[in-house]
Amino acid sequence: MSVLVILIVLLFVLYLFYKTKYFRSNRPAEKKWLSAKSSIALGLFVFSFGINTVYLSQTTVTIIVAAVFIIIGGISSWTGYKAYKHYLPFAVKEAEALKRQ
pLDDT digits (tens, 9 = 90+) for 37-54: 999 999 999 999 999 999
Task: Please spell the DSSP secondary structure of 12-50, one letter per residue.
Answer: HHHHHHHHHHHHH---HHHHHHHHHHHHHHHHHHHHHHH
Rounded to 10 degrees, the C-alpha dihedral 71/65/2/40 comes to 30
How crowded is residue 41: how many other Cβ atoms within 10 Å of its Cβ? 23
* Domain count along the chain: 1
pLDDT digits (tens, 9 = 90+) for 2-22: 889 999 999 999 999 999 999
Instruction: Calculate mean pLDDT across residues 68-81.
Output: 97
**Which residue segment(s) compose the domain that 31 sits in?**
2-100
pLDDT at 1 over 80: no
Q: Which residues contact 15 (CB under 8 A, 6 or more apart)?
A: 38, 41, 42, 45
pTM metric for this prediction: 0.91
